[in-house]
Amino acid sequence: MCFDSRAMMTAVLLVLAAAPLEVRVLERETPASVRLDATRVTCDGRPLEKNVEVVAGARELKVGANACQLVVAEGGVTVTVRSLTRRYPGSVRASLQASMVKLVNVVEVDDYLPSVLQVEADGMKPAALEAQAIVSRTFALTAHRHGSQGYQLCDLAHCQVYRGAEASAQSAAAVKNTAHQVLLIGGIVLKPAFFHSSCGGHTSSAGEVFGEDAAGTAVSDVENGEPRCKTSDFEWTFEATQEDFAKAFNVKANGAALEPLRKDKAGRVIELRVFGKRMSGQAFLSQAGRAFGWQAVRSAKFTARATDNAVVLKGTGLGHGVGLCQLGARALAERGVDAKGILARYFPESQVKPAP
């Protein structure tokens, strides 16, 4: 899960939207046409066949001889885009956007979460999976990053990865066992909660990393002198030529290749310069990921050195380091710590409570 620093994160005092989530799905497929199969399909409120092809036209959607502004599929919805087929709970709304079929899944939060857990936290012990369910529910209800685009969440790592009705029995059980539970700061205030794969031994605050207010403070995650999330690939090294490094950041290879300007107490680079170009640590990670692959520079918790022709980064952890450390949560669950105990470690200022 990544973060858009432009998103508006407004604290909510004991208020949760009862309305279903609106999740943009399959945008990456850029569908010019889709096939919808459902119990009920309508075109601007008029009934259609239960299995239809929806095609993007110049000004409207085309379904056979019908011209439609909005096509809605409800009940057991299956969406097919070329060779990709997915099932979705709730309903799916199709509309026209820039010569594409825009698809929005309208879904209850606890019908949305099992798929998120299946993809984002596969293989976790039950207690860690339940902790993930509470964090993901809190995020889904608060971090509406796409409100200006007519929906709340996308189905990609920018928000939370979501693949419709695809879910394991374990993921579904974790959602059911934590039904309605969220993280409330001080037992009162609801703000976004984040998660990542591996913190490298110390988490960071959302304020430092994202410049935004959210649940979770910076905490040490070390046990018996070792990071709780330490695995065989805990440490990583990245190397690129100075020429390729400069090209990745759209700058000329003049001067110092990489200068960390500020780090937080976890050791994450908060601000740096790349060949004189100033940017945040998160912007650096995003741009490096696009240029070199998302597993290349794995976190902002690194040290850097330059040789005559290369830039070498050595770091630990994976992800932004804010909120729940998934590998740390897994280690705690294996020791018998329950979901609330896990969350108390990473969100010490928050309490797990039912959403009112």
What does the pLDDT look like over 295-334, one tens digit per residue?
999 999 999 999 889 999 999 999 999 999 999 999 999 9
| Alpha helices by DSSP H, the chain | 109-120, 126-142, 169-177, 206-210, 242-248, 281-292, 326-334, 339-346
Under-50 pLDDT residues of the chain: 3-17
**Closest by alpha carbon to 97, among 116, 124, 69?**
69
Instruction: Give the Cα separation of 120 and 136 in Å (integer).
Output: 10
Instruction: Give the Cα separation of 339 and 319 in Å (integer).
Output: 21
- pLDDT for the residue numbered 15: 43
pLDDT in tens, 82-105: 999 999 999 999 999 999 999 999
- pLDDT for the residue numbered 356: 59
Question: Two tokens at 283?
Answer: 């912007």
**Closest by alpha carbon to 169, among 117, 131, 105?**
117
- pLDDT for the residue numbered 1: 58
Q: Are 36 and 71 in contact (CB under 8 A)?
A: yes
Angstrom CA distances, 54 to 42, 61, 92, 102, stand at 11, 6, 12, 11
- pLDDT for the residue numbered 19: 80
Instruction: Give the Cα separation of 10 and 349 in Å (integer).
Output: 18
Angle between helices 109-120 and 126-142 (to 10 degrees): 130
**Closest by alpha carbon to 107, among 131, 73, 80?**
73
Question: Two tokens at 256?
Answer: 């110092």
Residue type, 40: R
